[in-house]
């Protein structure tokens, strides 16, 4: 430890103001503070401070995403094996295939994103903010396994620059950066982000087994709705239990409800993710599903049990990891309830009424990101009003 | 009449070095100092010269904006030094104290029960006790020309390692009683005494004519601002005064004896103190005389006050005007390898991401390392957990940062002063100096009003 510290102290002047590499100051600072909590002391205000900082906060979120990531790695290989041979491969084979396909996506996401962040930090004379550590992991998790790397890079760059930095960087952004990246690809390259052929990574020129279909639950439901078929469990080629455990086709990290729930447990136990938002999102989804159930309207989606909505597609992944981004979510405590509930409601609404967008949660979250400041505004106004009313009484 | 309030939000920070209830008499300090910097926004006007002899209660300097407000000498002796800081602003007036019996200035307090509010006011002003009365909004010395809506006294201190007033004020019941009688004369709106529901309140048992409310719960339940917000909130245009019980006792002593007596029992505590306990001294005593060889180690932070709101002072510094506590904790000026990931020692926290610290550790030797670098706001909902007031803290702080005067006012900046948000600053993930930000906001509001 002492040796490492000495080495850092030795090269520090090079990166400090006036040094040869001072243009890399922010980057150096980011790595230095990663390795060593600085020897600063409090100079004004409270003399002692809580042990928590943004690094630990962000790291906790990454830990919470690990179950989803690990499951996703296995599932990418598992799905490929099912598509190519019709049987499941060995555990480590699946894992290896998934790693080979996913690792480059993660590297590109972090490399491009952190590179841009560090550049902006240097340009602005700011320290590098830890927020991207989470975004950089969320982006791969919500990508289809088949996504080309250049798209990942492009989308990441778009989300960091347009989604975040133009607003002033971490803490100032309006939209969830990871979903901004996904949305960018969804709109810009729909054929690579939706349909029946992107959810399983297949090597070029490979042949799938007979009976293989690349359709997801959401896709099947959307087409059943379009064809006017009534609801039955048979519409879903993957059973609801499969969807719950997650051995189905889908984006890399979002298929397993179980893995997401483990993440939720970590986020809630550590107090980092807002349980209010998670719970209200779930309640909103259930509520809207239930409304459709009792509406009397016919159709595959209308009669599907409401709780299916929570299990199929990316609902849980979104509700746990995406809605709870504290910057783009509502920031008042009452606002969080409204924000989450409306996300749940909108997700189901979009799924049911808009077959063009099979997955509703991405749209719902981004839409509510935009409305979050408005929700907060009204919550704040109500606090102001009670204060004004006090005077009149 | 009074109310019972259970404070739920907040946190106690258990620190090592809790004071024993023993009260040590210490050989008196040879030098004392009165520091204009202890008062927010004060520009002092000197009334004495270096080398001059002063008695206890002689005016050392006055407020340039209102020269009725005197700041008087806590001891008799010779003016040793007038310390100046940046731009020759006076930062301290040092007095070399007489070694034996002090000379006292006499104040005409006989028959105080029949004196008018104005007479009482002028005695308080002349004796230098007036500055102990703090005014909200802004947390400044009370305006001499207004009558407040109410006066609030918090009967207990819930801050980390704070004095148990039941110990430090024991034996001063009579003075406290007289003090409250005086306060009652100053304010038609009534005096509130806010007590802890579970603590021993015998020192307050004879007090008459005050509205007593009871509080319980974690810090900041003992902060007078929190209490006011819960029982008698400050609205726009309201003026409320606050004063601490130990200072009420000073007032009582003055009026019953005609002499200014600023002797008090203070707490010296913290993990770097050999013998944390109560010590008898006076306002403005030198840290030297108080601490002597009571330090456990060398690299320490000496704080006049508590760890959340106190002022950093040097080892050759002086006890602050309002403080009845000196806290000594280790400095945190060392690197900690991957400390954010693997904390190498337990540290107090509100966050469950540090479960070992949060749930297992009973008390902490805490240092001054902020455990992270300042960042933009990311986390939300944190301040609310430690501010039991009907205030939206993060929105208020952001309004101050944006210098939005109207929003600050609407969000209740009149109701808070720096100490109320000290816990918010402690828990802040983004390490924002919340007290300083609020202070700038209060200053801005005071200027504009």
Gap between the Cα atoms of B187 and B149, Å rounded: 7
Q: Residue B434 in 3-state DSSP? A: helix
Q: Token pair of B354, please? A: 């540090």
Residue A29 placed within a domain: yes
Distances (CA, A) of B5 to A72, A253, B218, B386, B416: 51, 48, 12, 16, 19
Chain A hits for B392, Cβ within 8 Å: 332, 380, 383
Assess whether pLDDT exceeds 90 at residue A4.
no
* Candidate from A37, A272, A383 with C-beta closest to B340: A37
Gap between the Cα atoms of A284 and A305, Å rounded: 14
Closest CA to B221 of B197, B189, B241: B197
Distances (CA, A) of A65 to A99, B342, B417: 16, 19, 40
Residue A10 placed within a domain: yes
Residue A30 placed within a domain: yes
Q: Specify whether the CB–CB gap between A358 and A301 falls below 8 A.
A: no
Return the higher-pLDDT residue of B434 and A126. B434
Q: pLDDT class for B84, splitting at 50, 70, 90?
A: very high
* Residue A275 burial (C-beta neighbours within 10 Å; 0-12, 13-18, 19+): middle
* Candidate from A49, A52, A336 with C-beta closest to B354: A52
Residue A207 placed within a domain: no
- Interface contact flag, B369 A41, Cβ < 8 Å: yes
For an interface test with B, the pick among A29, A53, A372 (most B C-beta atoms closer than 10 Å) comes out as A53
Pick the residue from chain A with its C-alpha nearest to B409: A384
Task: Report the pLDDT value the prediction gives residue B1, as an integer from 0 to 100.
Answer: 56
- The DSSP string of B236-249 is TT--EEE--HHHHH
Give the total number of structural domains in chain A. Answer: 1
- The DSSP string of A179-231 is HHHHHHHHHH-HHHHSSSSSSS---TT--PPTT-----HHHHHHHHHHHTPPP
Return the higher-pLDDT residue of B105 and A192. B105
Give pLDDT tens digits for A224-282.
888 888 888 888 888 889 999 999 999 999 999 999 999 999 999 999 999 999 999 99
Average pLDDT over chain B reads 93
Assess whether pLDDT exceeds 60 at residue A319.
yes
Q: pLDDT class for B183, splitting at 50, 70, 90?
A: very high
Chain B hits for A271, Cβ within 8 Å: 351-353
| HSE-up of residue B402 (Cα within 13 Å, Cβ side) | 12
Chain A hits for B375, Cβ within 8 Å: 53-54, 127, 129-130, 170-171
Give pLDDT tens digits for A116-130.
999 999 888 888 888
Task: Report the pLDDT value the prediction gives residue A24, as an integer from 0 to 100.
Answer: 85
Map tokens 């307050």 to a residue: B204
Map tokens 């900046």 to a residue: B413
Chain B hits for A386, Cβ within 8 Å: 390
A86 contact partners, CB below 8 Å, separation of at least 6:
A209, A211, A212
The Cβ of residue A168 has, within 10 Å, a number of other Cβ atoms equal to 12
The whole-number average pLDDT for the span B366-379 is 92
Assess whether pLDDT exceeds 70 at residue B13.
yes
Assess B361–A contact: CB distance below 8 Å, yes or no: no
* Candidate from A38, A56, A376 with C-beta closest to B373: A38
Give pLDDT tens digits for B114-158.
999 999 999 999 999 999 999 999 999 999 998 899 999 999 999
Assess whether pLDDT exceeds 90 at residue A107.
yes
Gap between the Cα atoms of A212 and A206, Å rounded: 13
What is the C-alpha end-to-end distance of chain A, expressed in Å?
Answer: 64
Question: What distance in Å separates residue B444's CA from the closest CA in chain A?
Answer: 18
Gap between the Cα atoms of B337 and B431, Å rounded: 19
Q: Residue A342 in 3-state DSSP? A: helix
Give pLDDT tens digits for A296-318.
787 888 889 999 999 998 999 99
The whole-number average pLDDT for the span A210-226 is 83
The whole-number average pLDDT for the span B215-232 is 95
Which ipTM did the prediction report? 0.92
Distances (CA, A) of A344 to A267, A276, A277, A310, A349: 19, 13, 10, 9, 9
Distances (CA, A) of A257 to A246, A359, A363: 6, 15, 20
Q: Kindly state the helix (H) or strand (E) to which residue B303 belongs, with its residue range.
A: strand B300-304
Assess whether pLDDT exceeds 70 at residue A393.
no
Greatest Cα-to-Cα distance within chain A, rounded to the nearest angstrom: 78
Gap between the Cα atoms of B178 and B173, Å rounded: 9
- Interface contact flag, A41 B343, Cβ < 8 Å: no
Rounded to 5 degrees, φ, ψ at B78 are: -115, 140
Q: What percent of chain A has pLDDT over 70?
A: 100
Assess whether pLDDT exceeds 80 at residue B449.
no
- Interface contact flag, A41 B339, Cβ < 8 Å: no
Assess whether pLDDT exceeds 90 at residue A211.
no
* Domain residue limits at A23: 2-35
Q: What percent of chain A has pLDDT over 90?
A: 60
Lowest mean pLDDT, pick from A248-262, B357-371, B395-409, B422-436: B357-371
Q: Token pair of A186, please? A: 């969804």
- Bridge partner residues of B93 (DSSP): B34, B82
- The DSSP string of B58-108 is -EEEEETTEEEEEEE-SS-EEEEEEEE-GGG-EEEEEEEE-SSSPPB----
Question: What distance in Å separates residue B387's CA from the closest CA in chain A?
Answer: 14
Task: Report the pLDDT value the prediction gives residue B3, as an integer from 0 to 100.
Answer: 86
pTM beyond cutoff 0.80: yes
Chain A hits for B394, Cβ within 8 Å: 331
Q: Token pair of B40, please? A: 């927010």
Give pLDDT tens digits for B16-47.
999 999 999 876 778 999 999 999 989 999 99
Return the higher-pLDDT residue of B218 and B355. B218
Give pLDDT tens digits for B329-347.
999 999 998 989 889 889 9
For an interface test with B, the pick among A30, A45, A376 (most B C-beta atoms closer than 10 Å) comes out as A45
A1 contact partners, CB below 8 Å, separation of at least 6:
B337
- Interface contact flag, A57 B378, Cβ < 8 Å: yes
Q: pLDDT class for A201, splitting at 50, 70, 90?
A: confident
| HSE-up of residue B423 (Cα within 13 Å, Cβ side) | 28
The whole-number average pLDDT for the span B272-279 is 95
């Amino acid at each position: 430890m002492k040796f490492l510290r000495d080495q850092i102290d030795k090269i520090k002047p090079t990166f400090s103001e006036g040094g040869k590499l001072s243009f890399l100051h922010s980057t150096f600072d980011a790595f230095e503070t990663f390795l060593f909590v600085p020897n600063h002391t409090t100079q004004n205000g409270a003399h002692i401070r809580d042990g928590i900082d943004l690094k630990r906060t962000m790291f906790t979120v990454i830990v919470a995403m690990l179950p989803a990531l690990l499951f996703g790695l296995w599932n990418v290989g598992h799905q490929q094996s099912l598509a190519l041979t019709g049987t499941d491969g060995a555990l480590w084979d699946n894992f290896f295939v998934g790693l080979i396909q996913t690792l480059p996506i993660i590297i590109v996401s972090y490399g491009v994103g952190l590179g841009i962040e560090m550049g902006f930090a240097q340009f602005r004379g700011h320290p590098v903010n830890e927020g991207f550590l989470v975004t950089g992991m969320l982006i791969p998790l919500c990508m289809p396994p088949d996504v080309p790397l250049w798209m990942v890079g492009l989308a990441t760059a778009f989300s960091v620059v347009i989604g975040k930095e133009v607003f002033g960087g971490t803490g100032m952004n309006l939209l969830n950066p990871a979903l901004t990246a996904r949305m960018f690809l969804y709109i810009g390259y729909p054929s690579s982000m939706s349909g029946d052929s992107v959810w399983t990574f297949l090597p070029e020129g490979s042949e799938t087994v007979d009976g293989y279909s690349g359709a997801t639950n959401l896709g099947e439901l959307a087409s059943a709705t379009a064809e006017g078929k009534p609801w039955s469990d048979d519409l879903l080629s993957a059973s609801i239990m499969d969807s719950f455990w997650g051995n189905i086709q889908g984006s890399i990290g979002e298929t397993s409800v179980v893995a997401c729930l483990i993440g939720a447990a970590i986020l809630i136990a550590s107090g980092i993710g807002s349980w209010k938002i998670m719970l209200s999102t779930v309640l909103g989804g259930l509520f809207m599903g239930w409304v459709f159930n009792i509406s009397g309207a016919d159709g595959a989606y209308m009669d599907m049990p409401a709780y299916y909505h929570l299990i199929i597609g990316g609902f849980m992944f979104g509700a746990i990891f995406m809605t709870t981004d504290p910057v783009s979510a509502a920031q008042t405590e009452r606002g969080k309830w409204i924000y989450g509930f409306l996300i749940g409601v909108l997700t189901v609404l979009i799924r049911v009424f808009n077959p063009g967008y099979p997955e509703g949660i991405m749209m719902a979250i981004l839409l509510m990101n935009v409305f979050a400041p408005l929700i907060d505004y009204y919550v704040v106004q109500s606090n102001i009003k009670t204060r004004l009313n006090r005077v009149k009484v | 009449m009074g109310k019972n309030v259970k404070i739920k939000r907040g946190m106690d920070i258990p620190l090592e070095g809790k004071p024993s209830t023993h009260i040590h008499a210490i050989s008196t300090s040879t030098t004392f100092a009165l520091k204009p910097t202890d008062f927010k926004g004060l520009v002092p006007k000197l009334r004495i010269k270096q080398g001059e002899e002063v008695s206890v209660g002689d005016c050392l300097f006055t407020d340039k904006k209102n020269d009725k407000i005197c700041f008087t000498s806590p001891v008799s002796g010779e003016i040793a030094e007038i310390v100046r800081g940046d731009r020759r602003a006076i930062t301290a007036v040092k007095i070399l104290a007489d070694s034996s019996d002090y000379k006292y200035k006499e104040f005409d307090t006989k028959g105080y029960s029949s004196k008018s509010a104005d007479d009482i006011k002028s005695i308080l002003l002349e004796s230098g006790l007036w500055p102990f009365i703090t005014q909200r909004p802004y947390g400044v010395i009370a305006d001499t020309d207004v009558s407040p809506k109410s006066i609030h006294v918090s009967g207990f201190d819930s801050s980390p390692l704070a004095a148990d007033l039941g110990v430090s004020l024991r034996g001063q019941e009579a003075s406290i009683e007289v003090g409250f009688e005086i306060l009652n004369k100053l304010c038609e709106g009534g005096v509130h005494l806010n007590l802890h529901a579970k603590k021993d309140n015998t020192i307050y048992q004879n007090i008459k004519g005050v509205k007593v409310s009871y509080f319980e719960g974690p810090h900041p339940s003992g902060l007078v601002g929190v209490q006011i917000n819960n029982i008698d909130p400050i609205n726009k245009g309201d003026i409320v005064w606050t004063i601490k019980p130990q200072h009420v006792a000073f007032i009582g002593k003055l009026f019953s004896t005609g002499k200014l007596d600023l002797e008090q029992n203070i707490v010296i505590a913290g993990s770097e103190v050999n013998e944390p306990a109560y010590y008898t001294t006076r306002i403005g005593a030198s840290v030297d005389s108080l601490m002597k060889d009571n330090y456990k180690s060398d690299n320490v932070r000496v704080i006049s006050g508590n760890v959340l709101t106190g002022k950093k002072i040097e080892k050759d510094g002086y006890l602050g005007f309002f403080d009845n506590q000196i806290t000594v904790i280790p400095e945190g000026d060392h690197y900690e390898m991957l400390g954010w990931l693997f904390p190498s020692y337990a540290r107090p926290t509100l966050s469950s991401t540090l479960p070992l610290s949060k749930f297992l550790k009973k008390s902490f030797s805490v240092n001054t390392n902020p455990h992270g670098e300042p960042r933009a706001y990311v986390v939300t909902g944190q301040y609310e957990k430690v501010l039991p007031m009907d205030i939206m803290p993060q929105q208020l702080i952001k309004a101050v940062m944006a210098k939005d005067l109207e929003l600050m006012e609407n969000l209740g900046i009149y109701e808070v002063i720096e100490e109320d948000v000290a816990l918010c600053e402690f828990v802040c993930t983004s390490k924002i100096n919340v007290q300083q930000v609020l202070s700038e906001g209060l200053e801005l509001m005071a200027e504009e009003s």
